[in-house]
Amino acid sequence: MRRRWIVFVPVVLFPVLSAHAQDTLRLTLDDCIRMALEKNPGYLAVTQQTQVARGRVREALGSFLPQVNLQGSYTWLEKVFAVEIPPLFSFPGLPAKPIRTELDFTLDYQGSVQFTQPIFTSGRLWHSFQQARLAQQLAVQQVRQARQQIILQTIRSFYGCLLADEFVRVAEQAVAVAQEHRQTVERQRQVGMATDFDVLRARVQEANLLPRLAQARNGQRVAYLALKTVVGLGPETPVRLIGQFKYRKPELPLEEAIRLALRRRPEVRQAEIQRDMGEHALKLVKASDNPSLALVGNYNFRSNVLTSKLDRWDDYYTVNVALSLPIFDGFTTHARVTQARAQLTSADLGLEATRRTVRLEVEQAYLKFQEAEERLNSQRTNVDQARESVRIAELSYRQGLITNLDVISAQLALTEAETNWSQALHDCSVADAEIRKAIGILGEEGSELP
């Protein structure tokens, strides 16, 4: 299906800070999104969770493999170990002497190599591995969620700058129109076609517009600072944005969009993964009450001389098959099973709550877009009519056909119409991005994801 984009007159926005043209950073919306994904510290911190999860998978996989440990010790004794054996026979006139034997243990070198291989664990290792694998999938979905959120935040900030600059332009235009009208009134007074009251009214109207212009410029600075924060730029970096308000109408009916969101939203996938993790956690706790079997081997060697000659070392080895069968653990396993079941129930409820929240967010996004589009359509011709009204009012005032108040009313109507038009454009553009975010495809259009 071909997508129909609605694009309005391009606007080149002025930089907030004065700087030489060659030092000004020119950015489009795509540039801002790319910079946010590369430099935003909050998003980059979330991406590191995938590395953590990958390490946990490797750790869980290592539990299936044999564990080999090497131990060594060196012992030094101050005295030689001596053993005296009493005499077994004695003869008259011949004193019996005990037999004395000395064993040289002053230097003792010992070492051992231990080998352990799990054979049967009642599924404990398997469920631990499955939990780690699911945790890795969960981290991937968390990165997806953070990526879509930072893209939406960048779009909002970018369009917020466009809107702020439009407000500045409208405010500057309103001041310029008020100044021109004040000058016209002053000329009319000189020829007797206007009163002092008309001049004062025109000057008051011009003065009332200056605070609005100051507010618009301050809002412009705040909007640019927010955008720079999102994309990872310093507040003093001069920026010029090149872009326009742009949106497209939703292609999917509401119900189809909801079904797609329930498949694609990373929050739903996270809730489903957490539910699966809860099932494995329950099975893992139950397995702790079952027997386990392991193969254990030991190779030991010792000598009182540190040498490379093998014949000076005494060695032996043992091979065991170790069976462990829990009999009574103080009901701790039963307590852990109760906790795991409650957590699984909580995960089921959380999944249902997430699905309902996603459905609500999609509906709200569609309604918000419809409301913004209706406002835009109502203002589509209103701006041109308001401009023509100001032109006619000025001509009529010069001819003495209308009062000064009528001219001021026409100017205020033009300012309001242009403000409403810019706001509606902004809201449609942002609502388009919010719909794609609510469905779970923002930044992933055209990609094949599970």
Per-residue pLDDT of the chain in tens (450 residues, 90 and over written 9)? 344 445 444 443 344 434 444 478 999 999 999 999 999 999 999 999 999 999 999 989 898 899 999 988 777 665 555 666 676 666 566 566 666 665 555 567 788 899 899 999 888 899 999 999 999 999 999 999 999 999 999 999 999 999 999 889 888 888 888 888 788 888 878 888 778 888 888 888 889 889 989 999 999 999 999 999 999 999 999 999 999 998 888 889 999 999 999 999 999 999 999 999 999 999 999 988 899 999 999 998 887 767 777 777 778 889 999 898 888 888 988 898 999 999 999 999 999 999 999 999 999 999 999 999 998 888 877 777 777 877 888 788 677 777 667 777 777 777 788 888 888 999 999 999 999 999 999 988 654 333
pLDDT at 95: 63
Helix axes 196-231, 404-439, angle to 10 degrees: 20
Phi, psi of 10 (to 5 degrees): -60, 145
Q: How far apart are CA 313 and CA 406, in angstroms?
A: 113
pLDDT at 138: 94
pLDDT at 2: 40
Q: Which of 225, 180, 237 is nearest to 203 (CA)?
A: 180
Q: How far apart are CA 268 and CA 262, in angstroms?
A: 6
Q: List, in order of start, the domains of the chain with CATH numbers.
A: 5-80+102-439 (1.20.1600.10)
CB 111 within 8 A of CB 300: yes
Could you say which DSSP state residue 15 is in? P
Phi, psi of 308 (to 5 degrees): -90, 0
**Displacement of CA 429 from its chain's centroid (Å):** 22
User: Other CB atoms closer than 10 Å to residue 371's CB: what's the count?
Assistant: 14
Q: How far apart are CA 32 and CA 85, in angstroms?
A: 91
pLDDT at 76: 67
Q: How far apart are CA 182 and CA 205, in angstroms?
A: 9
Tokens of 232: 């990872």
Long-range contacts of 376-380 (CB under 8 A, 24+ apart): 376/421, 376/424, 376/425, 376/427, 376/428, 379/417, 379/420, 379/421, 379/424, 380/421
pTM assigned to the model: 0.79
Rounded to whole angstroms, what are the CA distances from 237 to 26, 165, 227, 410? 11, 18, 11, 40
CB 182 within 8 A of CB 206: yes
pLDDT at 18: 41
CB 279 within 8 A of CB 127: no
* Partners of 73 in the β-ladder: 110
Long-range contacts of 60-63 (CB under 8 A, 24+ apart): 60/125, 60/128, 60/129, 60/131, 60/132, 60/133, 61/129, 61/132, 63/118, 63/125, 63/128, 63/129
